[in-house]
Every structure is written in C-alpha cells, then in structure tokens.
Amino acid sequence: MLISGCSNYNSMKLAENINLNKYMGKWYEAARLPNSFQKGCSCSTANYKITNKNYINVINQCIKNGVIKTSTAKAWRVNKHDNSKLKVRFFWPFTGNYWILYTSPNYKYAVVGEPSRKYLWFLSRTKTVDKKSFNLMKQVALSQGYNLSKIIIAYNNDC
C-alpha cells in the first residue's frame, strides 16, 4: 500500500510551458474541494503579481459572514525551470504546494492542485464558466486522481 501511495503522489501531470506573466492577474474561484481555511467563504478570488524575478505576491479574498476577508501570501517556483510547481506561504514557517495542472491556451481557465489531492481549485478569469469548460476542468481533475464527490461550486451570480 505505501509504495502505491508514493507512486500516486509522484504521478501527477503538471501543465507544461506555463507563462507566469500570462498567469498573473485576477482569477475567480469556480469550484473547489472543501478545506478548513475557506470554510464559510463564498465569492473567492485570487490575484497574483510578480514582485521580482523570484517571488509572486498573492492576495486572496472571499466573503465570509457578509464581510470581505483578505489573506496575503508569497509564492515562488520550486525550481527555476518549472513554472507549474510553486510553493505558497501565508505565514511563517508553513508552506503549501500550488501545482498548476492545467491552463487553457488563452489562460482563461486553470486547474490547481497538489500531490496529496486534498486541495483543488478550478479558476476562471470571469465570474461564470461555461459548461464545456467546467466539464473539461472536471476531466483534468478526475484524470489526476481527484475525488470530486464533495466539490463545491464556488462562484455564482450573487457575487
């Protein structure tokens, strides 16, 4: 069992040739798997900006109990030759994996996850996602071994 788990951990396919400059900017969360740090959040967004050649400034926002909540982080590439695999730190000393699993050719949609498959986000440049694009993101996640039975459709027209 343990060997299978290790193999599964490493078998995640990442998006190739990510242009971080095109990836920067505002993203709307279209869907996510439940997680403790977003409990009660709706209308979540993430805004990314390269601050220098080594770091990305991250500003996440959501509405929780009618109030806009903001959290900031710093992200960086795990290695300089791979823009798909990032580390994110919201507070010292804890870091998390941020792996870009898919982007549409025009950087309108993205799927982000991490190797344990506990965390997953579908991102869009717009508040709404057409059915075809949403189904494509679901297929990407399923092909990576994610269980989508508890997926939360995160953005709606009330945002």
Q: Given this model, what pLDDT does residue 3 score?
A: 31
C-alpha–C-alpha distance, residues 38 and 45, integer Å = 11
Q: Going residue by residue through the chain (159 aa), what tens digit of pLDDT does each one get?
A: 223 334 345 589 999 999 999 999 999 999 999 999 999 999 999 999 999 878 999 999 999 999 999 999 999 999 888 999 999 999 888 889 999 999 999 999 999 999 999 999 999 999 999 999 999 999 999 999 999 999 999 866 677
C-alpha–C-alpha distance, residues 62 and 69, integer Å = 5
Structural domains of the chain in order of their starting residue, each with its CATH number: 14-153 (2.40.128.20)
Q: Cβ–Cβ contacts within 10 Å for residue 123, how many?
A: 28
Q: What is the CA radius of gyration of the chain?
A: 15
Q: Given this model, what pLDDT does residue 156 score?
A: 65
Digit-coded pLDDT (tens) for 10-56 = 589 999 999 999 999 999 999 999 999 999 999 999 999 999 878 99
